[in-house]
Structures are given as C-alpha cells and as structure tokens.
Amino acid sequence: MSLVLRRWETLLAVLLALFVALGTALSPYFLDTQNFSDLADDLMEKAIMALPLALVIIAGEIDLSVESMLGLSSALLGLSFGLGLPLWAGIPLVLLVGALGGLLNGLLVTWARLPSLVVTLGTLALYRGLAYVVLGPRAVSHWPAAFNAFGFGDVPGTLVPWPLLVFALLAIVFAFVLHRTWIGRQLYATGKSQEAARFAGVRVARLKTALFVLSGTLSALAGVILTARLASARADNGQGFVLDVVTAVLLGGVNIFGGEGTIAGVVLAVFVIGVLRNALTLADVAPDAQSTAIGALLIVSVAGPNVVGRIRAAWRNREVLT
Amino acid sequence: MSDTPLLELRSISKRFAGVRALREVDLDLAEGEVHALVGENGAGKSTLVKILAGVHQPDEGEIRLRGEPLVLTGAAAARDRGIAVMHQHPNLFPDLDVAENVFAGRLPVARFGRVDWRRARSAAAALFARLGQPLDVTAPVRGLSVADQQLVEVAKALSLDARVLVMDEPTAALSGREVDRLFATVRQLREHGVAVLFVNHRLEEVFALADRVTVLRDGRHVVTAPIARLTPAETIRHMVGRQLDSLYPKQPAKAGEPALEVAGLTRAGVFRDVSFTVRRGEIVALAGLVGAGRTEVARALFGIDRTDAGEVRVGGRPVHIASPGDAMRAGLAYVPEDRHDQGLVLDFSIAANVSLPVLARLSRLLGVVDRGAERILAGDFAERLQIRATGVDQPAVGLSGGNQQKVVLAKWLATRPAVLILDEPTRGIDIGAKAEVHRIMSGLAAGGMAILLISSELPEVLGMADRVIVLHEGLVAASLTREEATQEGIMTAATGQASA
Amino acid sequence: MTSASRALAVAARLRELGIVVALALVVLVTTLLAPAFLHLDNLSQILLSVSLVAIVAAGETIVVLTRNVDLSVGSMVGLVAFVTGDLLKQHAVGLPEAILAGCLLGLALGGLNGLIVTVGRVPAIVATLGTLNVYRGLDFFVAGGKEVSAYDLPRSYLGIATSTAAGIPALIIAAAVIAAVVAFVLRSTRPGRALYAIGSNPPAAETVGIPSQRLVFAAFAASGLLCGAAGVLWGSRFGTVNAFAANGLELEVIAAVVVGGVNIFGGSGTVFGAMLGAVLLGTIDNALTLLRLSQFWLQAIDGAVILLAVGADASIRGAVQRALRVRGRR
C-alpha cells in the first residue's frame, strides 16, 4: 500500500517541477524570491484547511463547509473588533465558534447519522449565510499593525511568511499524528471499514466528531489569517476556496472513499496548485478563469489513474485471450 | 423425467491465476429434479454456480442444454436460456415494490412505451399464487423479511421461465418455519418440471429435500448418487476424504470459577430475561435457529447494542458495558459473525489487524505505535495459530477464509480476554481449518478461558460444548449439559416445542 | 401488506404532506404579517423565480435518483445564458438557432459530466465540483469581463419569459410542462424506472441487465439539457447576463431536491416533490423580502432547511426501523 502512495507522491513532485518550468517559461519574474513569498501568501489559508479535511476524508466523511466557516470567522472577528473587543479576546472567541460549528457538523453526522455530504452542503450555506447576517455587506478595516504584520509579513530575519510557518508546523504535527500514532491508525481503520473499527473498540463517533471540530477550528484560524493578510474582514472572505482545498486533498492522493492518503501528498498537492495559479496569474489569466485549470486538475487527478487502470486491465485481458 | 438430461456439464475445468478451481467436473440435471451440490469451501461449488450464471466461462469442457451445446457469454445469456441463479443474499431493490422487483429491467410496456403497471402487478400476483405463497405485490421490498425477499427472487426466476434454478445457500439466513416454506416452494417448482440445483452446507436439509447429491472435493467430482443410496456420514466422508471423528477434538476441561454471569438480560423486542453462566475452562454453546436472538445477545454483551434490563458480571464483579471499549476493559472479546465487514479491515496487513484493539498497549511516547512490538505480537500469534501467509505484512484480503478467521481470533486473543465470545467461528471455512479452530478453542478452554460459542451447526455444538443454552424467539428454551444434549433435544427446544 | 411496508408507505405520503404543511404555514404567517403576499402578481413573481430553479431541479432529481449529484448546474446555466445572449447580441444566428444552440450546449456540458463519471469513474461529487469550476471558468473566459445587456437582445427573445398564455406567464408553463414530462418519464417508462433501480441497488441493476453506465450518462446529459433550457430562459428573463449569472444556483437546486424528499442516496423521490421543495424555498425567499428581513438570511435559511429536511427524513426512517424491530418477532 505504501509503495503505491510513494509512486503517487513522485508523480506530484514531477507535476510540481513541470508547473515550475511552465511558470518560468511564462514569465521572467517567476523565480523571484518575492514571487515565491507571494505564492505562499495566496495559498496558506487553503493549505491550512486542507490538512484537517484530509483527515476527515480519510475517515470516510467530507466537509464542504470549510470555506463558509472561514467567512463566518472573518465576519465575527470584524464584528467583535469593530465593537471594541481586543484581538487577544476576539481571536480565541472566533476559534471557539469554529470549533462549535465543527461540532454541529460532527453531531449531525455521528449522532443524527446524516450523510456528511448533505450536512456540510447545508452548513456551507448556513455558515455563509450567518456570516452575512453578522457583518452584512460591509468590510472592517483598520487593524492593528501587528495583526497585519502577522498576515502579510515574514518571520523576522527570514523570507518565510508567518502563515507559511503556521502551515509548516501544522503539517508536521498532522503528519506525525496520522502516520505514527494510534489515532492515525484508528483513522485509517475507520475509513476502510467503519464496522470493523467499531467492533475493535474504536470510538468512531468520538473520532469523527473530533475531526469535524478540528476542521471547523482550523477553518476559523484560516479566517483569522486571511483577515490579517487582506487587512479586511468581510462576510464573503474565502468564497470559492472549497474547490482548491478539496482539490489539494484529492490531488494529494487521498482516496475520496476513505482509508488512504498521506500528508506529504497533500502538502505537495497544495504547492502544485499554488504554483499553477501563480504561473497563470503571471500569464494574465484572471483568478476566476484559473479555476478552470484547477477544476480540470481535480478531474484528471481522479479520472487519470482510473482510466489508466482500465486500459491496463483491458490490455491484460487481450493477452489472455490470444 | 425424460432420458436426455435437461442440463449437462461435461468435463468442465476452470483456472484462476494458476489455481485450478474446477477439474473436469461432470454434472447433469434432469427436469423436475432437485439436485444438491455439496463440498467444503474451496471445493469449487461457487465457481460452478458462477459458470452456470454466465459470470465465468469454462476453460475446458462443454455445457449442453437439452442436448444442444450452450455457450454462456454473460449473465444475460444465462437468463435468456432459462437458467436463473439465486445468490445467498437476496439482491433486490429496496426502494421499489415487489412487482417492480420481479420484473426489474423488463417491465411490461403498453402503447408508447408506457409501463403497464396493471399487467406487472397481476402477473406478479399470479406467480406467487403458482408458488402457493401469496404476497402483496405493492409492498416495498425494504419492509420484507429475508424469507419473503427470497420468495421474490424465486418469483423472479419463474417469471423468466427458468427451466433451471440454481440456489446458493438459500437457507443460510432462514428460520425453521421459513426453511419449510422454501422447501414447499422448491417442491412446487419440481412439480412444474424445473430443475433445481442447490448448494447447501446443512446436510439435514440436503437429505430432506434433494433427489440426488453431487459431492465436489478440491475442484473434482467425487460422486453423484440418489439420496436414498447415501448416508450423511458417507457424504461427509466423500467431502472430506477422512473420518468424521477427528472433527471435534474436545479436550475435557475442569470448570472453575464463574467468569461470565448473565442475569435477566433483556432488549425490548429482541430477547428477554436471558440468564446463563460460563465458568472458566468451560465452553458454553448458545444454540437456536437464525433469528432466535443469539447474535443479538452477544452484541449486547459486547456493548454494541443497548440493553433494557439485566445484570452482567465478569469474574464475579458487576460490569456496566455501553461500548466495545467497556467490554474489552471488562475482559470480554467478541469474534463477530461477519468476518469481512466486522472482523477484519481487509486492506490492513495481518499485523495491523491484530494490533487494532490493543493499540493503546502498543503505543509509546506521544502515542507513537511501536511497529516492532506490533510485528512481534502478530508473528507470535501467527505461529501459535498456524496462520498461513507470506508474512505478517500480507494484507488480510489475500488470505483464505480459514486463515482470515485465525487473524480475527489472534486479534481478540491479543486483548487477553477472560471471556471469549465466538459467533459462528467456523462458518464458511473449509473442514481442515475448521478442525484447527476447534483445536484452538479446546486449548484455550483447557487453559482457563471461558468461551461462549454461538453456532448453528448442531454437530459442532454437540462436539464442542460442555453445556448448551438453547434460545427460541429471544427466550431461553432449554439449558442442557453435554450428556443431556442431543440433536433432537436441541432442535425441539429451538423450534419452541419443548415444554418449559 | 406487512406492518413495516405499511409504515413505509405512510412515511412517504407524510413526507410530501409535510412540505405542503410547511408551505401552508409560511403562507399563513407571511400573509398575516404582510397581506400583500397573497396578491396575484406577488404569487406570480414567486412562481416565475421558482420556475427556473424548478427546471434545473427536475434535471438534478434525475441525477440524484441514480445515487449521483450534479454540482455544476449553476455553471452550466450561467454559461448557456451568456453564450445564448452573446450569439444573439452578435447577430450571429436567429432566435430559434440560438435557443437550439443553448440547449445543445447544455446537453454537451452534461454529457461531459456523464463521461467523467462513467468512463473516468470519478465520483459525482468530485467530478461536478471540478466541472462547476471548469464551466464557470469557461464562462469567464468567453465573457472576458463583458456582459450582455437587455438592450443587446432582440425583443423576441426577451419576450419568451414575459409573454403569457391564458394569463399565465410562458415561463411558468414551460416549467410545468418540463416537470410533467420528466415526471412521466421517471414514473412510466422503462429507462425512467431503471434509474430508480440503479440508485436503489447498483450491483443488482447490473445483474438484471440494466445498462447502468449508459443510463447514468444519459441522466447527466439530461440534467445538462435541462440546464441548457434554463440557461436560455434565464437570459430571456433577466436580460442582463454576465459571467456571474446563476452563481450558486446549485445550492438552491439541491436544497429544493432534498427538501422535496428525494433521497440523496438515490432510489426514491419524485419530481413533484422537488417542485414542492422549490416552491417552498422560493416562497420563503419571497416572504423574507416582503417582511423586510435581511436578504442575507436567505442563504442561512437554505442551509438550515437542508439540514432540517434531511434530519426529518432520517428520523422517519429510524422510527420505521425501530418499528420493524419491535414488531419483527414472528
């Protein structure tokens, strides 16, 4: 099993190199260090949401509401800050709301036994709607300089943007938990065979609920970071992000049906998407049009191996018949 | 019956990736005959069934239908030629009604391609009448019992004008009365000249229903004989190639302290007031027909289902079990009925499967799983239980049924339980592996473990148990010692005919 | 009928009744608070806006019945709306040709969805999430930041939506006719029934010889075709079309379908139910405006309604299951 995944990650690395080459061909500015800094900036909120989503999908569920929780947390942060609540209180509050939103998802899936696709489709709408109810059409600006520095500044003395550092640390923790600990093992078991996991004493409901809470919390964190980076809290922040996040997870080799996937793959996929978008931006392709490429990438990343597998199987059958 | 057999299979051979599933097997079916196909797992029965269903094509040999050579290119071809196959689990559409299920894919149409519901419903009703088993054709299939669903399958086959009906383990999920109904249906089919080939593990049923029996062993045809000319013992000998007695190596065990005491256990609508005790070193069998509530009792004991009343004590101390985790902590282990969906994570390696319930014990600092310790644990059990595999890293999906079952056993033994609950532990595994499992059970009991054995196989119950608790419709109908227990006695209690 | 079957049949009827009851409640409350609600032109407005959703929801129902989902409907409608409008704006073709082109474009887009799901074996969520973006991106590419405005379009085109027959707007008639046709196909034709079978038990459908792959492809193509029709009508109704047209429509449509009692896992549900769902959601939307509640509540309500509907379905099913268990002892 691990051998196959290693091959997928190699493929991703190749793809990454390809897109880097594409970028360089499209623009002389591509290899500028400043450009790389910008690239990471644009991507890190999605990357941070991709990590818990990977775990959710490996466990056999899905969470489409991540982008809306991002928006809701941004709106709440803006509202609370606008009302005078200092950030050291506002941010934890917003993270708590994220956790609660994730808890709602989790309970609806585990306790009410509703399919996560529909639940998170519903909360995708619900949380976004609530974001609008909270903040309306306005934008909250005038954030403290330190906050903005966290959002679009670099770690002092390096070229590493703070969000990238946050992502890197989270990725390491996630990789450790998923690949080395008993929690990860239970996760894979749940995704592959929920019944067998339950019979073996895995607390499936608790595990899945925890994953949704994690997803909600980190989506809220992504919302905080995005707000800081854009220096603007808006209800529509993060609109459309879910495509890139899901693509990053699936392109990263996580099986949509659960039970398979690695953090390394997801990290690579995140950068593949980032580089692709960056290259296209430099080629003057509008962000909304870039989505065509990302959508195509998503489809090809899942269809490709299937079609190749079918061709191989057909070829093998031909050999048997002759 | 005419002289030319209705269906003839001559010298059928089939290979799968180097394994010879069938070797020059001959079989013939006459019109209006009920023909039983028996053999251990791996004997080739299901391959033969699949060939008749058109799912596989034989590598060698030929099939003749009424003397004409027959090539079945697929399931549709088999259906068109009048061969209907009923697989073990009814394969119906739960959201559609009975009539639509019977005619699925070939609904009668009127003008303009409009589905003619009236014709479908009346035709379906007529089929059930012909089988002597009226059924409401507008009922959604989802609400039907397994027995009724099978009836729908039979009606489906009949509607296809099947001349040959192949039934794969049709009675596996049925209770006594339902088995009788099914037999009545089969006899009706026989009256209509349909040839019925049924695969069955339960010899009592084979001898009650069949006209002729064919025994397969290791992919080869061993014998075909009219039922009158064989005894069950002889049949088993043909299936196994060895004597019956080596099957149940029960060592005598000294019963110690009570390990599991169940008092007044109740789950509304499922079972009521179930009480029994299993001592250390004892094997207590929970017998009864399918649906009597045995698995349900086990699930409740293990914390998968809730109970409404009753007390459970393990090792003399009362325990409250609300989840499998609680049960494990209390010292219980449960080897479930369904190996593939409940017992194993098929894609996991042997080692990963064995360690799954005891990950906490195998984890070190920060929750990291000690892979070395995990492999040692799995390796130890693989040796102890004689698990045949390429190594502890082999995915469980690649193992034979018997070895898979041993992995499940290993996993639960790794939890070091005081009480081991086994639910149909030897179902669907070949006789050799069966004997090994029984040997392991005996050894465990001799070592002081308390074992609760749920089994539908009376010979197994009689051979392995020190005591037999018989359930009937959720109530304890009888409690028999090894000496008192007989096949008839258990069956009487299981069918509710014993006086309290 | 066994008690279980009877329970299930009752549950199904209750489901549709439930929507009607909810609808009646909303109408009642809103009329009490804002009597203008029950005015004919307001009701007409509701049905007009619901019509477009209804047409797309009919297509979505076809797909969902087979145990799939089509998230790309909004993008397909938007793309077709723009292309149709643009063709007419450029005077490239006449009206009938433009309409035909729009529908065929929808058919092709849906067909591509179908190919990705059947040949590519990509799960429908993933496939249509991808095409949602591919088609929307195409829309942006084609539009190039410009828009088609009502002034650019021939009166005959704009007239399609506003014209009436016997006092009923053509758009509403079109939606009703389309719904009726789809309902007929699903209820009374072999391929329609086969769709239910595919959603109810995919392997069994294969066993009885139903050409599942072909039918699933057809389901997606049909959804695309209906989106094409909706796209053509969209341009006619709104006149001004830019690359954002019908953005987010998929959520409204899926909400309507789910609220309408179509099982997200396939195998059961009716177009009639989906229509009821669309009407209920459209009515709530209208009520919000009339009651001067912030429009921003709408999305939240859509989401809450999806959760409530699915939750209600699940609890009904759970209750039936429990009834089965307790009555089950023979």
Q: Are B169 and B201 in contact (CB under 8 A)?
A: yes
Residue B55 pLDDT: 81
% of residues, chain C, pLDDT over 90: 45
Task: Identify which of A242, A210, A235, A237 has the alpha carbon closest to the alpha carbon of residue A226.
Answer: A237
pLDDT at residue A1 greater than cutoff 50: no
Q: What angle do CA B416, B420, B423 make, to 5 degrees?
A: 140
Interatomic CA distance for residues C272 and C259, integer angstroms: 12
Q: Is A285 left (phi over 0), alpha (psi -120 to 50) or beta?
A: beta
Task: Identify which of C255, C238, C233 has the alpha carbon closest to the alpha carbon of residue C173.
Answer: C233
By the 10 Å C-beta count (0-12 exposed, 13-18 middle, 19+ buried), A142 is classed as exposed
Interatomic CA distance for residues A222 and A238, integer angstroms: 9
* Each residue's pLDDT tens digit, B23-54: 899 999 999 999 999 876 567 888 888 888 88
Instruction: Name the residue ranges covered by the structural domains of chain A.
Output: 2-17+32-304
Higher model confidence: residue A117 or residue B488?
A117
Choose the closest CB to B91 out of C1, C199, C207: C207
* Each residue's pLDDT tens digit, C185-240: 999 999 999 999 999 999 999 888 899 999 999 999 999 999 999 999 999 888 88
Mean pLDDT on C119-125 = 92
Letter string b/e over residues B288-307, b meaning 16 or more CB atoms within 10 A of that residue's CB: bbbbbbbbbbbbbbbbbeeb
Residue A45 pLDDT: 93
Task: Identify which of B103, B163, B155, B43 has the alpha carbon closest to the alpha carbon of residue B430.
Answer: B43
Q: What are phi and psi of A289, to 5 degrees?
A: -75, -30
- DSSP character string of A245-259: HHHHHHHTT--TTSS
Interatomic CA distance for residues C293 and C308, integer angstroms: 21
| Average pLDDT for chain A | 89
Contact check, Cβ <8 Å, A132/C300: yes
Contact check, Cβ <8 Å, A136/C294: yes
State the first-to-last Cα distance of chain C, in angstroms, to the nearest integer. 15
Contact check, Cβ <8 Å, A189/B356: yes
Residue B244 pLDDT: 43
* Torsion angle in degrees (nearest 10) through CA of C215, C218, C219, C222: -160
Residue A129 pLDDT: 92
Q: Is C196 helix (H, G, I), strand (E, B) or coil?
A: helix
Q: Are B101 and B141 in contact (CB under 8 A)?
A: yes
* Each residue's pLDDT tens digit, B278-307: 999 999 999 887 667 899 999 999 999 999
Q: Which residue has the tokens 């009376």?
A: B458
pLDDT at residue B471 greater than cutoff 80: yes
- At position A186, the amino acid (one-letter code) is Q
- At position C11, the amino acid (one-letter code) is A
ipTM for this model: 0.86
Per the structure block, which two tokens stand in for C148? Answer: 């088609």
Choose the closest CB to C190 out of B96, B113, B177: B113
| Cβ partners under 8 Å of residue A307, min gap 6 | C119, C120, C121
What sign has the CA pseudo-torsion A28, A34, A37, A42?
negative
Q: Are B29 and B89 in contact (CB under 8 A)?
A: no
Q: What are phi and psi of C143, to 5 degrees?
A: -75, -35
Per the structure block, which two tokens stand in for B492? Answer: 């009487």
Q: What angle do CA B463, B467, B469 make, to 5 degrees?
A: 110
* Each residue's pLDDT tens digit, B154-166: 888 888 888 899 9
Mean pLDDT on B378-397 = 91
Domains contained in chain B, CATH given: 7-246 (3.40.50.300), 247-331+417-494 (3.40.50.300), 347-415 (no CATH)
- At position C310, the amino acid (one-letter code) is V
Q: Is C68 helix (H, G, I), strand (E, B) or coil?
A: coil
Q: How far, in whole angstroms, is CA B294 from its chain's centroid?
A: 15
* Chain A contact present for B357, CB below 8 A: yes
- Nearest-Cα distance to chain A for C299, in Å, is 5
Residue A133 pLDDT: 92
Residue C38 pLDDT: 84
Write the DSSP symbol of residue B367.
G
pLDDT at residue B373 greater than cutoff 90: yes
B27 strand-pairing partners: B9
pLDDT at residue A294 greater than cutoff 80: yes
Task: Identify which of B15, B6, B154, B140 has the alpha carbon closest to the alpha carbon of residue B90.
Answer: B154
Interatomic CA distance for residues B58 and B25, integer angstroms: 11
| Average pLDDT for chain B | 86
Helix H segments across B64-137? 75-80, 98-102, 117-130
| Cβ partners under 8 Å of residue A218, min gap 6 | A48, A49, A51, A52, A98, A170
Binned at pLDDT 50, 70 and 90, residue A319 comes out as low
Helix H segments across chain C? 3-33, 40-65, 73-89, 95-118, 124-143, 155-162, 170-188, 190-200, 202-207, 212-238, 249-259, 271-290, 297-327
- Nearest-Cα distance to chain B for A85, in Å, is 37
Residue B369 pLDDT: 94
Query: What fold, for C3-7+17-32+51-327?
Result: ABC transporter involved in vitamin B12 uptake, BtuC (1.10.3470)
Contact check, Cβ <8 Å, A129/C251: no
Q: In chain C, what residues touch A113 (CB-CB under 8 Å)?
A: 314, 318
* Chain A contact present for C304, CB below 8 A: yes
Residue C155 pLDDT: 84
What sign has the CA pseudo-torsion A25, A31, A37, A38?
negative
Residue B4 pLDDT: 73
Contact check, Cβ <8 Å, C125/A117: yes
* Each residue's pLDDT tens digit, A224-283: 999 999 999 999 999 889 989 999 999 998 988 899 999 999 999 999 999 888 888 888
CA distances from B468 to A111, A148, A205 (A): 38, 75, 36
Q: In chain C, what residues touch B107 (CB-CB under 8 Å)?
A: 190, 193
Interatomic CA distance for residues B391 and B356, integer angstroms: 17
Binned at pLDDT 50, 70 and 90, residue A209 comes out as very high
* Chain B contact present for A3, CB below 8 A: no
Q: Is B475 helix (H, G, I), strand (E, B) or coil?
A: strand
% of residues, chain B, pLDDT over 90: 40
pLDDT at residue A198 greater than cutoff 90: yes
Q: What angle do CA B69, B74, B75 make, to 5 degrees?
A: 110
pTM of the model: 0.85
pLDDT at residue A103 greater than cutoff 50: yes
How many Cβ atoms are within 10 Å of A314's Cβ, its own excluded? 9
- Nearest-Cα distance to chain C for A22, in Å, is 20
- Chain B contact residues (CB < 8 Å to C): 75-76, 79, 91-96, 100, 104-107, 109, 113-115, 136, 138-140, 142-145, 175, 177, 268-270, 291, 473-474
Interatomic CA distance for residues A211 and A59, integer angstroms: 9
* Each residue's pLDDT tens digit, C89-110: 888 788 889 999 999 999 999 9
pLDDT at residue C259 greater than cutoff 50: yes
* Each residue's pLDDT tens digit, B251-279: 667 778 999 999 999 998 789 999 999 99
pLDDT at residue A40 greater than cutoff 70: no
Contact check, Cβ <8 Å, B341/A195: yes
Q: In chain B, what residues touch C317 (CB-CB under 8 Å)?
A: none
B25 strand-pairing partners: B12
Mean pLDDT on B73-101 = 86
Per the structure block, which two tokens stand in for B48? Answer: 């033969």
- At position C250, the amino acid (one-letter code) is E
CA distances from B223 to A111, B196, B244, C81, C165 (A): 55, 18, 18, 73, 79
Q: Are B273 and B247 in contact (CB under 8 A)?
A: no
pLDDT at residue B480 greater than cutoff 50: yes
- Nearest-Cα distance to chain C for B247, in Å, is 35
Residue C5 pLDDT: 65
Binned at pLDDT 50, 70 and 90, residue B240 comes out as low
Q: What are phi and psi of B313, to 5 degrees?
A: -125, 135
Q: Is C148 left (phi over 0), alpha (psi -120 to 50) or beta?
A: beta
Task: Identify which of B253, B272, B252, B270 has the alpha carbon closest to the alpha carbon of residue B262.
Answer: B272
Contact check, Cβ <8 Å, A289/C255: no
Query: What fold, for A2-17+32-304?
Result: ABC transporter involved in vitamin B12 uptake, BtuC (1.10.3470)
* Chain B contact present for C32, CB below 8 A: no
CA distances from B221 to B28, B43, B227, B309 (A): 12, 9, 16, 53
Contact check, Cβ <8 Å, A303/C306: no
Interatomic CA distance for residues A197 and B343, integer angstroms: 9
Q: Are C16 and B151 in contact (CB under 8 A)?
A: no
Residue A322 pLDDT: 47
Q: Is B469 helix (H, G, I), strand (E, B) or coil?
A: strand
CA distances from C166 to C55, C170, C172 (A): 21, 9, 12
pLDDT at residue C330 greater than cutoff 50: no
Beta strands in A128-230 (DSSP E): 139-140
Task: Identify which of A51, A44, A268 has the alpha carbon closest to the alpha carbon of residue A164.
Answer: A44
Residue C215 pLDDT: 97
Mean pLDDT on A23-33 = 76
Interatomic CA distance for residues C115 and C102, integer angstroms: 20
Residue A295 pLDDT: 92
Q: In chain B, what residues touch C5 (CB-CB under 8 Å)?
A: 136, 139-140, 142-144
- Radius of gyration of chain B from Cα atoms? 24
Residue A72 pLDDT: 97
pLDDT at residue C329 greater than cutoff 50: no
Task: Identify which of B142, B417, B471 has the alpha carbon closest to the alpha carbon of residue B287.
Answer: B471
Task: Identify which of B96, B99, B115, B119 has the alpha carbon closest to the alpha carbon of residue C187.
Answer: B115
Q: What are phi and psi of B184, to 5 degrees?
A: -60, -40
